[in-house]
Amino acid sequence: MADKKYVMMKWKDGWREVIALEGDTVDFNKYFVIERLEQYGRLVLERPKGEYPGLIVLDRAPLELEKVALVGMDGERVLKQTSTYREGTRLEYNYELQKGPGDFFAEVVDSIKKVLTDKGISAKALLAMPEPGKSQEIGKVARVANILGGKSQPDLVSFMEEVLRKL
């Protein structure tokens, strides 16, 4: 996962998404939700000194985001609401990204392993399949493991291929 990095996100209802990031992403910076008539979450990512921070805008249940993990970084970050700020009709919820007790990425890998075992297929056999069947089958495994591409299906497939290579 050297040239690409991925962020894993989990909502309170169990929904999990993966999004590809710039390869030089370093860490999380902050998370906040802005509410006007609608709500949008903003996950700010640290990048090397001199680079603009990365930004992921979340429109699906942004107040329900439970935890995030930057793949390749130890552990997970859980979100704890720290403050609310109102300016006119705009309401802003600010969160602290605290180091969590678990390993969200390991949890995701375990769910992928379980799906492969239940289907009776190995990671190596799945990766050896010809296209386009391979991408479709990888998508099915991810769906059963409750993992979706947050912004695009190719992000999900490339993430899954990287995980499968390591199994």
- Full domain range(s) for residue 11: 5-99
Average pLDDT of the residues of the chain: 91
**Residue at which a domain ends, from 50, 67, 99:** 99
Asked if residues 47 and 57 have their Cβ atoms less than 8 Å apart, the reply is no
Return phi, psi of residue 112, to 5°: -65, -45
Q: For residue 92, what are the β-bridge partners?
A: 34, 85
Q: Are 90 and 43 contained in the same domain?
A: yes
Q: Are 10 and 85 contained in the same domain?
A: yes
Q: How high is the pLDDT of residue 23? A: 86
- φ/ψ region of 146 (left if φ > 0, alpha if ψ in -120 to 50, else beta) reads left
pLDDT surpasses 60 at 85 = yes
Taking each helix axis as running N to C, give the angle between helix 153-166 and helix 133-144, from 0 to 180 degrees, rounded to the nearest 10.
Answer: 80
Two tokens, residue 91? 């309401």
Q: How high is the pLDDT of residue 151? A: 86
pLDDT surpasses 60 at 2 = no
Q: How high is the pLDDT of residue 1? A: 42
Q: Are 71 and 150 contained in the same domain?
A: no
**Residue at which a domain ends, from 46, 68, 99:** 99
Return phi, psi of residue 33, to 5°: -120, 135
DSSP 14: S
Domain count, the chain: 2
Two tokens, residue 9? 């996100």
Q: Are 140 and 91 contained in the same domain?
A: no
Q: Are 91 and 24 contained in the same domain?
A: yes
Q: Are 71 and 13 contained in the same domain?
A: yes
Question: Is 0.85 topped by the overall pTM?
Answer: no
Q: Are 88 and 151 contained in the same domain?
A: no
> Over the stretch 118-153, which tens digit does the pLDDT of each residue have?
999 999 999 999 988 899 999 999 999 999 998 888
For residue 132, which of 113, 157, 152, 159 has the smallest C-alpha distance?
157
